[in-house]
Structure 1
């Protein structure tokens, strides 16, 4: 079972909301609102940089490539790149006034391709276009290869999983295709039967899919096949309408933004199954078999004994008493556990 471990909240300067988040590094992300503001911020919430010609697209309108360069949809609906080194802006894909309007963009870490979600207003349909690094259209996905029906209505956020799957937030469902554009599955909501209003989307190091849902006001986690695993109720920590996500594979932290204000929450998603049903006094350290694991290293997400806490790997980390983690009921197989 997975649980979201709340770490902290940031109040950002320079944006009014947190509509989309693009990771640059473990301590820096780009964040935009729906007022044309796009800023680079650190883990203290400080504005480090700003782009002023971003378009009014309020969804997944920017991404960061493998070089750390910012790629975004500008005011003219061109897809532009801002170089980190020399601050030079270049146009990668020029908007040609066709009926198709770009709404979201994602840079593939594995191929360097750009995935762009498009919307056509007169027919109220969508498509996903793949461009190579020079801006050449190399693939257009619009219809279900099995049924021939349209796959997308209004793609607003897009990402790619580690297996090459392309994952899109689209009105009332999440649509997943493989790298070749073949339809795999759709996710329409949790087993409770509630409907889905998907927004920001990302994947983690284990290929889980995480999606913001405005209807349940939660972040829902799926496995790579679209099966529901768990959800994070962000309203418990001050975010009533989660709308954007970014996952950091180096720190395993999840950034969650909201459309309500300029607050961003940071979580760690951990697997708690190994902690359920086991008496605390029976949990021993593998390195020091006679010493119980009585501490939990929050940054690393691992239990430790008193000897391990003094090692260089954990000595400066945030440590919590495991007993405290078990004290508050959190509905894990009838046992007490609260990882907050």
Structure 2
């Protein structure tokens, strides 16, 4: 085998292509044997040839050739023109007064910047895109499942319709048979009566003929005619037959009766993903790991609260929860033991409208009748906000430690969301871009509020039977009107609302006895339907466990719904 073509061949001289390489020209980047070295150097004396041992090849920096001055190396860099330059360039008028640096300094800065960018690509950007790819894959899987469930629901509803139609057809046919039997029996009885009359008339005719033919006058005189009886004809039975009046089938009306699909949408949100950070900092959370929804959520524990009517729950920590019901006492419970740790009574003696927990762990409650927002610090109640023409309902704290409060006007005609920093109003959200009210007016305690991870403001509006989501600036993003088919086939009746680490929005539906899970863009994902008893209040802890305040049985149920 020719050693020059063998896979185990040694490096050969680039010039003669036969001798084993011994040296390397770091200037021209060629392999050379010693026999060809002199010829290579003398072939081009215009540049300095740096000859090194082959093992030390590529150790020499290759400066850029100057475009303006032939055969000159650019050892400097013009910062103003942002180009490498040679010494002749610097001496010329072209770069007069320009700031010039040594090119090696510029190269070092460039290398450092590239290394930083490479680190960012490896440690931040690449892992983030991997997480995004995983998230998209999971959403595709969820999309496939949801559309499959949607088709199944439509098929099942169609089968239900077929069963009802079959029952209706059977019922109508039974009514037809019953009507036919009734009318047929009447006609048959009438027929029997007529036939008997005919027989009697025939006997009368025979008797008359015999009397007129006899010579016996006594027999003739004894015959009595009953013709006058038969002159009175029987009543005629008039039948009114039933008709099948077919209901007209109109496609649009039939569609409304059967059910219709709500519109789907495809939107994009430039703030939908967050850059993954190599490690958590106290100021910013890292990109959350993607968690799958459980097909069958699990009940972890239940806590008896003793309220007459339980309405709200708020997490103080992963071990403790605050609750409020239809009395003037707010209770703190230990989750694991279910034991009562503390009770706080409202200053006014009224029921609290809603409760929340601040970032520092203080309890906040709204007092609708007293028109105040209050904070509990070290078991002492401080009035933070006092209102005149408005009454506070739902309340939540924001990531920036502000408060979002739903306010309801004294005349029951308006509702709005106000952002407070302390007692100072920072923002009011009430109307959309067309000047229409974002939130309904009406009954008390029917609106709850929370802030999502993307800083969207989410309101559960029980009067409007919708979840209304606006962005941080107060611009309407979407309205979620519920999803069909619902577990109990009742109208959507949203009450408590919360979010989790995946930016899911969860809202309690006390008519369908479930919790709706939608994504941050308003698309339905799943129901939590695990034997809930009139769910009203919701909250989540740092591990994405869901706590549900149940009105009917006065219990808080802790539910695991994410993997």
| Structure with larger Rg | 2
Q: Distance in 1 between matches of 2:391 and 2:413?
A: 11
Does the CA contact (< 8 Å) of 2:314 and 2:322 recur in 1? yes
- Alignment length (residue pairs): 259
Show the counterpart of 1:120. Answer: 409
Question: Are 1:141 and 2:429 an aligned pair?
Answer: yes
Pick from 310, 316, 319: which aligns with 1:18? Answer: 310
Pick from 205, 208, 221: which aligns with 2:517? Answer: 221
1:221 CA drift (Å):
0.2
User: Could you give the per-residue CA deviations for residues 103-155 of structure 1, whole angstroms, max 9, x where no partner exists?
Assistant: 111111x21111000112524321101111x210111111112x210010146
Show the counterpart of 2:357. Answer: 64
1:158 CA drift (Å):
0.5
1:196 CA drift (Å):
1.3
Show the counterpart of 1:203. Answer: 499
Q: For structure 1, list consecutive stretches of 5 or more residues without a partner in the other structure.
A: 271-300, 302-340
1:1-340 correspondence runs (5 A): 1=142, 2-3=293-294, 4-43=296-335, 44-53=337-346, 56=350, 61-74=354-367, 76-83=370-377, 86-96=378-388, 98=389, 100-108=390-398, 110-132=399-421, 134-145=422-433, 147-154=434-441, 156-170=447-461, 171=463, 172-192=465-485, 195-235=491-531, 239-249=532-542, 251-270=543-562, 301=563
Q: Which has the higher contact order (CA 8 A, sep 6+)?
A: 1
Q: Distance in 2 between matches of 1:223 and 1:58?
A: 30
1:56 CA drift (Å):
4.5
User: Which structure shows the bigger proportion of residues in strand conformation?
Assistant: 1
Q: Distance in 1 between matches of 2:432 and 2:326?
A: 32
Does the CA contact (< 8 Å) of 2:301 and 2:559 recur in 1? no
Q: 1:87 to 1:215 in 2, by over 3 A?
A: closer
Q: Distance in 2 between matches of 1:143 and 1:39?
A: 36
User: Could you give the per-residue CA deviations for residues 201-226 of structure 1, whole angstroms, max 9, x where no partner exists?
Assistant: 00011000000012321101000000
Does the CA contact (< 8 Å) of 2:297 and 2:530 recur in 1? no
1:252 CA drift (Å):
2.1
| TM-score normalised by the chain length of structure 2 | 0.44
Segments of 4+ in structure 1 off by > 4 A? Answer: 54-59
Q: 1:62 to 1:90 in 2, by over 3 A?
A: same
- Comparing 69-78 with 195-204, greater Cα deviation is found at 69-78
SS class of match (2:316): strand
Q: Distance in 1 between matches of 2:495 and 2:342?
A: 25
User: Could you give the per-residue CA deviations for residues 138-180 of structure 1, whole angstroms, max 9, x where no partner exists?
Assistant: 11111112x2100101462100000000000112100000111
Q: Distance in 1 between matches of 2:379 and 2:536?
A: 29
| TM-score normalised by the chain length of structure 1 | 0.72
Show the counterpart of 1:316. Answer: none
Does the CA contact (< 8 Å) of 1:15 and 1:37 recur in 2? no
Calculate the aligned-residue CA RMSD, in Å.
Answer: 1.9
SS class of match (2:401): coil
Q: Distance in 1 between matches of 2:428 and 2:299?
A: 40
SS class of match (1:174): strand
Q: For structure 2, list consecutive stretches of 5 or more residues without a partner in the other structure.
A: 1-141, 143-292
Does the CA contact (< 8 Å) of 1:234 and 1:242 recur in 2? no
